[in-house]
Amino acid sequence: MNVKYDSDADILIFVLRDAFPANAISEPGGVIVSYDETGKYVL
């Protein structure tokens, strides 16, 4: 897992796996969860 911070956008990104996200959903509190084509977490 890698953690990245984008100071321009003021966001913290947790990269769980190196995979291209195929889908994403927005959770309460401004959290966006990305999934790959098999439904596993990516970001």
0.85 exceeded by the pTM?
no
* pLDDT (0 to 100) of residue 20: 87
* pLDDT (0 to 100) of residue 3: 94
* pLDDT (0 to 100) of residue 15: 87
* Nearest to 16, CA basis, from 42, 36, 38: 42
* pLDDT (0 to 100) of residue 24: 94
Q: How would you write the pLDDT of the chain (43 residues) with one tens digit per residue?
A: 899 999 999 999 888 888 889 999 999 988 999 999 998 988 6
Q: What are phi and psi of 33, to 5 degrees?
A: -110, 125
